[in-house]
Amino acid sequence: MMLFALPHTRGPCFVCRWLCQCLYWNVGNVRMDREDTGRASGTQMILGLCVFLLSTTSTVIAADQSVLDAEQARVAMIERVAPSVVAIFASSGNGGGSGVLITPDGYALSNYHVTSGSGTFMKCGLKDGKLYDAVIVGIDPTGDVALIKMLGRDDFPAATMGDSDTVQTGDWVFAMGNPFLLATDFSPTVTAGIVSGVRRYQYPAGTILEYTDCIQTDASINPGNSGGPLFNATGQLVGINGRGSFEKRGRVNVGAGYAISINQIKHFLDGLRGGRIVDHATLGALVRTGNDREVMVDEVLEQSSAYRRGLREGDEIVSFAGRPIGSVNQYKNVLGIYPDGWTVPLVYRREGKRSEMLVELRSLHRASELQAKPKGPEGPRPRPQQPPGDPKKKPEPKPQPDDAPHPPGGPAEEAKAPEQWKHLFEEKAGFANYYFNQLEQKRVLAGLSEFTSLSALTGRWKFAGQTADNRAFVVTLADAGLGMTIGKDLVFFQPLDNSEPQDEPPNTGGLLIALHHFKQMVTTGPSSFSVVSYVGSQPLDGRGPTVDVLATQAGIVQTRWYCHRQEGRLLGWDSSLGNDVDPCSVRIDSTAEFDGRRCLGTWTVRYGDQTFGTFHNAVIELQAAK
């Protein structure tokens, strides 16, 4: 049998030629050596191998082509999304991190622990090699998220946000960013891996920072990757890289990185766009693991909405916000993805009976905790010490924020704001940047335009009509006081003097004062209130359409106004006579025209979990001030 030196030519043609040569020479060998049985049998084995290889060549070629196609698709995807990846630097030049653009007008996501050390204004580089100015917009100190706005363009390349609830263990993912500040031309570094786990919980470690419902990946996340995007195989943004587990020596990733899920960020995104320091939520209850591994309520605050709805110690939590609860970690995971003020469904079991309630979530932190000045970029972290008595045992890697390389020392000095952009920042207590809150206020208030014709009618108002149960009613809103009659016998009055507002009619949460605030909002506008702010967005009443939320306050009365997120129109409002009490909830079922002016048509009033009544206005008398 003859041996052949394989030429360097590649491709299927070379394979076919080589097999044909083997076949030709070995057929000759069989013919010449047919008397030599042993040699013939060996040659026949070669012939058989050649036939087999020839028969499978097309399959091999097809498989190779599919690999090449997948590679080309991956390269194209990375090329498509890479322009949206941001390299973030402090204006002073100290430290850095990563981010990702999410809108063409320049809004970009990053980590709070990245931007907190970069100052109010920062520098951001893109793959195009250009450096742009950027300003802080909103921050989430608990969830380790920040929103910035890059400046100078309105056509930035933006990533497409995906659905992180569809991410599964084993999915391919790609982490992008600027680890170790390697890319001096701002071209992002790409690392690939799989999703190692979903809905992971990372407890707070000496700070209020808490990672809930996060994505675990073995894609390499190193110092400088913080705030950068985690893309799925189709190039959709499914997370923001933040924490990593690092080896005992140095800051080298050991294959356990964590990304904040994009669906959690979506819950907070409008609040961040409003320039707020957003807070996460608490139910107002402590839970524990029961004897049968069920999640039991250990304690409930009496001031909480959950307590007012009937949740008590010893109840079993079955599901929360639509997700089954099988452990304390699962409960913390779900709770941690919601902002304070949201309403969510809760299912519990007591003595074998399942019940459901809607609960309003409370703020997790005090305002002073959220507004504490961050420590900024830090120097080298202390190394974990070996456990005493066991020098051979290595300590477990601990998850920690993946800071970019920083010089030792405290926070970077605040650089001077660029002259052309300094108007884009307004400092105010409780806000990361009040300038952007005012922008959102103006946008939402524009949704009240259907009531513009009422603006001059600041005098006496009178509503008259029928309730859903066919009782006549009359509402009077005057400068001296507020009154209401229902049927023949029920009369209610609220003076407008220096006395505190009352729950009138009783068990409405203060309907008269709530209607008075509606009149003030559509006539005088925001100037009627001592406090006005844009809160963010949420599902109306936990299950309805997404609404923008505007908060106002006058005296002790706090009101939240709900405007349809897409259509802008006012859907209703909640007015509370103080903290930790159920509000009077007014929902606008329809509006109607009276003498050419649009006002409330049919409206429903609820208090707690009870409906007080539905009212249909038949006559409205509106007067200008005398």
Q: What are the distances in angstroms from CA 458 to CA 25, 235, 308, 421?
A: 106, 54, 37, 40
How crowded is residue 571: how many other Cβ atoms within 10 Å of its Cβ? 21
Contacts (Cβ under 8 Å, ≥6 apart) of 29: 1, 2, 39, 43
**338 phi/psi in degrees, rounded to 5:** -115, 145
Pairing of strands 610-622, 597-607: antiparallel
Instruction: Pull the structure tokens for residue 485.
Output: 């009659």
DSSP letters spanning 93-118? S---EEEEE-STTSEEEE-HHHHTTT
Q: Is the dihedral of CA 469, 470, 472, 475 positive or negative?
A: positive
Pairing of strands 236-246, 160-161: parallel
Active site residue 453: no
Q: 267 in helix, strand or coil?
A: helix
- CA–CA separation, 71 vs 215, rounded Å? 25
Q: How far from the centroid of its chain's Cα atoms is residue 276's Cα? A: 14
Instruction: Pull the structure tokens for residue 614.
Output: 């539905």
Q: Among 91, 98, 113, 280, which one carries the catalytic annotation? A: 113
**585 phi/psi in degrees, rounded to 5:** -105, 120
Q: Among 144, 315, 340, 403, which one carries the catalytic annotation? A: 144
- CA–CA separation, 599 vs 430, rounded Å? 34
Burial 69-96 (b: 16+ CB within 10 A, else e): eeeeebeebbeebbbbbbbbbbbbebbb
Instruction: Pull the structure tokens for residue 42.
Output: 């060996």
Contact 101, 159 (CB under 8 A): yes
- CA–CA separation, 536 vs 129, rounded Å? 34
Active site residue 144: yes
**449 phi/psi in degrees, rounded to 5:** -65, -25
Active site residue 92: no
- Using the structure block, give the residue that is written with the tokens 């031309």: 185
- CA–CA separation, 494 vs 484, rounded Å? 9
Q: What is the DSSP letter of 452?
A: G
C-alpha gyration radius of the chain: 33
| Closest to 151 measured CA to CA, from 188, 107, 96, 88 | 107
- CA–CA separation, 212 vs 596, rounded Å? 52
472 half-sphere exposure, CB direction, 13 A CA radius: 6
Catalytic residue set: 113, 144, 226
